[in-house]
Amino acid sequence: MSRGRGKDRDSVNHSGSKSAMDPPRCSICSTQQQLLRCAKCKAVYYCSPAHQLLHWPDHRTECRLLTRQKLNSSNNNKQQQLQPLPQVVASANLEGSGAGANCSTAQMMTPAHQAQSWPAEVDNLLNLLGQPGIQEKAAAAETEAGQRQQQQHHHGEKSSSYQIGLADASFMGSGSERRYEDLCRNIISDMNQYGLSVVDDFLGMETGLKILNEVRSMYNAGAFQDGQVVTNQTPDVPAVRGDKIRGDKIKWVGGNEPGCSNVWYLTNQIDSVVYRVNTMKDNGILGNYHIRERTRAMVACYPGSGTHYVMHVDNPQKDGRVITAIYYLNINWDARESGGILRIRPTPGTTVADIEPKFDRLIFFWSDIRNPHEVQPAHRTRYAITVWYFDAKEREEALIRAKLENSKTNNLVAQVQAQRTEPDSTTTPPAAIASSSPSLPASMSTGTGALNANVSSNSCATSNEICT
């Protein structure tokens, strides 16, 4: 449960409703100083996160009831004022360990004509990726860039693939199997209908705070590096500064590192959900994929000051990634003040999804060109943890292409080096070979930047890893 700063006076406390004339007070100690308001029901106040956590077992039922009442009222008003939107997905509460995960995807969807106009760069991206052979050519052009990044380990780490589904443990390890299944069904429905799914209150306040504390400790220890952008610039095109494309700081985490046990727990819980939705019967589009591997977790921090990530596609080159999963860790986030919205423009562009990076919120969306997206400028520190899930068939095909392209590149380089040893020979510099393929726009070619389609490098192919 996330929280927001209190502004109105319609508060209630654990002992009952208050008059609209009564000043708000902390529901635990009754102080009126420095109050924060429950962001879900917007009716209860606290003076600190500790008091909110202490009161949550008593407040949980009331909070959900008030939230649903306000949600129903809000939906009725919207249906009268705007064109009809799909009904809000019924929440599927999970019992056990304090979790109350529920899908809220429909609330994020807005008709495209009510949002900002569809940017021309998205159309350019989709048109470019639709040209025959462009994916193979772009992947070949990125071969040398991927190899250079591997040699610069401090700028980006390799993201090893991790097996999932070896043990399909229930979400949170216990609780209602029926409600767990309902949550997965809602995610399947969302992915079929919208191409994305939003799950709130995924792990609960207590577990979410443990994860946040680990991430903050890593960031304060200086373990993060600048997010990388792999570009295929041609000589006559000015280079674009990386921080103009993405401004985040990142660290790759497997979970077995010291001080990362809670991040490991998070990724296991996401694994459990992804494996379940991929193996359930009648799972729609998800049934087209065989998902048994994922990347390491990319822990990201946008350090405020307007840092952002321009419109891009995570997997524009068919590198195997099919699902992007992002978990947010930002307590008391208000996009009106702090920005940082993730805007997804599912194709075709009839709707957009504006998703606030709220605490304990988990989202899923297709990683390929179905979902161009951007992180709008963030004006306070914004934390997120991202994991990508591979489709086995597409991943295998990408690795085969990578080996072939890498072999071709090595042969060309060997020919150039052999020609250099011959007198009076006209040679083509290796750099010219690498730049001879057409390039994608700098803001679009990188997908997730460091975690790009650089499966072309030899070591990535042989170790079944994706280069970063």
Total number of residues shown for the chain: 468
Q: CA of 373: how far to CAs of 89, 242, 333, 345, in Å?
A: 23, 17, 20, 6
Task: Tell me: do 336 and 273 sit in the same domain.
Answer: yes
Contact 364, 325 (CB under 8 A): yes
Task: Tell me: do 181 and 309 sit in the same domain.
Answer: yes
Amino acid identity of 401? R
Among 405, 431, 447, where does a domain finish? 405
CA dihedral 175, 176, 177, 183 (to 10 degrees): -100
Q: CA of 89: how far to CAs of 39, 104, 180, 215, 329, in Å?
A: 20, 6, 15, 31, 23
Task: Tell me: do 301 and 363 sit in the same domain.
Answer: yes
**pLDDT score of 438 more than 50:** no
pLDDT class of 30 with cuts at 50, 70, 90:
confident
Q: Which residue has the higher pLDDT, 454 or 130?
A: 130
Task: Tell me: do 220 and 324 sit in the same domain.
Answer: yes
The string of DSSP letters for 24-43 reads P-BTTT---SS-EEETTTS-
Mean pLDDT (whole number) for 261-279? 95
In a domain, 340, yes or no: yes
Task: Tell me: do 257 and 310 sit in the same domain.
Answer: yes
In a domain, 97, yes or no: no
- Whole-angstrom Cα distance, residue 57 to residue 406? 57
Read off the tokens for 314: 């995570």
In a domain, 92, yes or no: no
Q: Which of 17-21, 111-115, 184-188, 240-244 has the lowest mean pLDDT?
A: 17-21
Domains: count for the chain? 2
CA dihedral 389, 391, 396, 398 (to 10 degrees): -70
Task: Tell me: do 61 and 171 sit in the same domain.
Answer: no
In a domain, 286, yes or no: yes
Task: Tell me: do 272 and 329 sit in the same domain.
Answer: yes
Task: Tell me: do 29 and 111 sit in the same domain.
Answer: no
pLDDT class of 38 with cuts at 50, 70, 90:
confident
In a domain, 144, yes or no: no
In a domain, 391, yes or no: yes
Contact 110, 118 (CB under 8 A): no
Q: Which residue(s) pair with 226 in the sheet?
A: 249
Q: Residue 412: helix, strand or coil by DSSP?
A: helix
Does the model's pTM come out above 0.85? no
What residues contact residue 278 under an 8 Å CB cut-off, 6+ apart?
286, 287, 289, 290, 291
Among 372, 405, 438, where does a domain finish? 405
Q: Which of 5-19, 396-410, 430-444 has the lowest mean pLDDT?
A: 5-19
**Residue among 1, 3, 25, 2 at smallest CA distance from 12:** 25
How far apart are the two ends of the chain, measured CA to CA in Å? 34
What residues contact residue 150 under an 8 Å CB cut-off, 6+ apart?
158, 457, 459, 460, 467
Q: Which of 10-14, 33-37, 211-215 has the lowest mean pLDDT?
A: 10-14
Mean pLDDT (whole number) for 233-260? 76
Among 405, 423, 444, where does a domain finish? 405
In a domain, 400, yes or no: yes
Q: Is 210 left (phi over 0), alpha (psi -120 to 50) or beta?
A: alpha
Q: Which domain holds residue 338?
A: 102-116+161-225+244-405
- Whole-angstrom Cα distance, residue 455 to residue 447? 13
Task: Tell me: do 194 and 331 sit in the same domain.
Answer: yes
Task: Tell me: do 63 and 170 sit in the same domain.
Answer: no
**pLDDT score of 271 more than 90:** yes
CATH number of the domain residue 179 falls in: 2.60.120.620
For the stretch 219-238, pLDDT in tens is: 999 999 998 775 544 445 45
Task: Tell me: do 63 and 187 sit in the same domain.
Answer: no
User: Sign of torsion, CA 282 287 292 298?
Assistant: negative
Q: Is 430 left (phi over 0), alpha (psi -120 to 50) or beta?
A: alpha
Task: Tell me: do 109 and 33 sit in the same domain.
Answer: no
Q: Residue 196: helix, strand or coil by DSSP?
A: strand
Element of type H or E holding 112: none
Q: Which residue has the higher pLDDT, 102 or 460?
A: 102
In a domain, 270, yes or no: yes
Percent of the chain with pLDDT over 90: 40
